[in-house]
């Protein structure tokens, strides 16, 4: 009999790629989403599939699923600063009540649950690169506090359900991920730079551009999550690409890729923007035998092709 998996946040960027992967692997998939930041377009190719069901539901409300459930992947949450600053209470609620509901469902069904945490639990990190042992540097009342603390709570309640209720849990700490189905207007550096290049606008870099990021292509991330789910490792594990680049160099890479001759302009750095981000993936390498395989050049090319293929009105769409 096919294994049955519930994926929350299914209409979002990562959730929709996870739905694709689990369908490909022969699972029966229930996608759940309230569409607050997601889009059904990301899933419409799956609607005719006999093993795919979609539930339009807010996971902060009681979740009812009839029948058996083998796995839950809890990915519902606003993820980009532009979203979680616009809907801060919903962000806290989905991290707290949404995670609590998913864990309750896992307990009731005897299902294994994997929850999506983030490199943001490390805040503006004082150690570099960040290993899972680092406890982080987060300002709970800072502009990013709602997201960072929601995810720290998500990890805490997940470990509590594991130790107290013996629920079979997994925690993935995801670092910046990119690929097709991101939104051009989600405010993050990569889609912003590509969107500006597509529209022929100058590329805006905040600060002097010396702050670093590391970008993981979505298929690599999905592979890491798949391996973690099927492993027996219950502590948080970093999944991301350690190939670090400064934002200024990154903006130049995007210009080269798009063949655009616009300029790079510098604007003041937003408060509490992390200066450095780079995962230590020793655990993922040794425990999951995982490491990223898609180079930035290849991943950027695929992502650019995707954005370029969108109808041009999408290039000009304002955030929700
Ligand atoms: P996204 O905004 O594209 O997807 C999130 C989805 O969750 C959306 O479809 C949204 O409608 C849905 N959602 C939000 N609140 C909900 C609720 N209460 N009930 C039901 N559905 C709800 O974001 P994403 O980039 O795909 O991120 C997915 C998950 O991965 C998030 O939990 C995020 O914190 C985590 N994550 C992502 C990244 C990244 O680089 N993309 C990095 C770290 C962590």
With a 6 A CB cut-off, is 35 part of the ligand 1 pocket?
A: yes
Model confidence over 137-181: pLDDT tens digits? 999 999 899 999 999 999 999 999 999 999 999 999 999 999 999
Atom of ligand 1 nearest to the CA of 98: 18
Residue 234 predicted with pLDDT over 70 = yes
SS3 at position 301: helix
Task: Note the helical H segments in the chain.
Answer: 13-24, 81-86, 88-93, 99-109, 145-165, 189-199, 218-230, 247-258, 282-288, 296-309, 312-315
> Pseudo-torsion of CA 41, 240, 100, 170, nearest 10°?
120
- Mutate which of 35, 79, 170 to test ligand 1's pocket (most atoms within 8 Å of Cβ)? 79
| Beta bridge pairs of residue 145 | none
Question: Could you tell me the CA-to-CA distances from 149 to 124, 145, 146, 249, 308 in Å, in that order?
Answer: 13, 6, 6, 31, 36
Between the CA of 80 and the centroid of ligand 1 the distance, in Å, is 8
Closest CA to 190 of 304, 294, 83: 304
With a 6 A CB cut-off, is 240 part of the ligand 1 pocket?
A: no
With a 6 A CB cut-off, is 154 part of the ligand 1 pocket?
A: no
Between the CA of 261 and the centroid of ligand 1 the distance, in Å, is 34
State the sign of the Cα–Cα–Cα–Cα dihedral 173, 126, 124, 263.
negative
Question: Average pLDDT in the 184-202 region?
Answer: 92
> Rounded to two decimals, what is the model's pTM?
0.96
User: Phi/psi at 145 (nearest 5 deg)?
Assistant: -55, -40
Model confidence over 275-314: pLDDT tens digits? 788 999 999 999 999 999 999 999 999 999 999 999 888 8
Between the CA of 94 and the centroid of ligand 1 the distance, in Å, is 10
ipTM higher than 0.90? yes
Model confidence over 84-94: pLDDT tens digits? 999 999 999 99
Q: How many helices (H) and strands (E) does the chain have?
A: 11, 13
Residue pair 223/288 in contact by the 8 Å Cβ criterion: no
Model confidence over 18-52: pLDDT tens digits? 999 999 999 999 999 999 999 999 999 999 999 99
Question: Average pLDDT in the 98-102 region?
Answer: 98
* Structure confidence at residue 203 (pLDDT): 94
Model confidence over 246-271: pLDDT tens digits? 999 999 999 999 888 889 999 988 77
- Mutate which of 16, 46, 75, 184 to test ligand 1's pocket (most atoms within 8 Å of Cβ)? 75
Tell me which residues are annotated as active site: 147
**Interatomic CA distance for residues 12 and 218, integer angstroms:** 12
């Amino acid at each position: 009999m096919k294994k049955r998996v519930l994926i929350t946040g299914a209409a979002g960027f990562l959730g929709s790629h996870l739905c694709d992967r689990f369908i490909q692997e022969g699972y029966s998939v229930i996608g759940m989403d309230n569409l607050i930041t997601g889009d059904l377009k990301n899933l419409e190719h799956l609607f005719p599939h006999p093993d795919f069901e979609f539930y339009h539901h807010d996971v902060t409300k009681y979740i009812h699923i009839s029948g058996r459930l083998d796995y839950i992947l809890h990915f519902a949450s606003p993820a980009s600063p532009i979203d979680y600053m616009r809907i801060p209470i919903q962000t806290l609620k989905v991290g707290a009540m949404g995670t609590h509901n998913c864990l309750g469902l896992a307990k009731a069904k005897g299902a294994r649950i994997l929850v999506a945490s983030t490199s943001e639990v490390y805040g503006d990190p004082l150690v570099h690169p960040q290993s899972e042992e680092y406890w982080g540097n987060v300002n709970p009342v800072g502009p990013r506090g709602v997201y960072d603390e929601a995810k720290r709570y998500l990890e805490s309640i997940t470990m509590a359900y594991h130790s107290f209720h013996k629920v079979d849990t997994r925690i993935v700490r995801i670092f910046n991920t990119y690929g097709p189905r991101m939104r051009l207007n989600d405010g993050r550096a990569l889609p912003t730079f590509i969107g500006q290049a597509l529209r022929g606008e100058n590329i805006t870099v905040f600060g002097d551009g010396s702050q670093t990021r590391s970008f993981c292509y979505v298929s690599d991330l999905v592979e890491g999550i798949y391996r973690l789910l099927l492993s027996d490792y219950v502590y948080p594990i970093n999944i991301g690409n350690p190939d670090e680049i400064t934002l200024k160099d990154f903006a130049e890479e995007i210009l080269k890729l798009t063949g655009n001759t616009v300029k790079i302009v510098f604007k003041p750095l937003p408060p509490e923007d992390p200066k450095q981000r780079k995962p230590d993936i020793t655990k993922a390498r040794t425990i999951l035998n995982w490491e990223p395989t898609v180079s930035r050049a290849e991943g950027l090319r695929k992502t650019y092709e995707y954005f370029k293929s969108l109808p041009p009105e999408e290039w000009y769409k304002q955030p929700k």
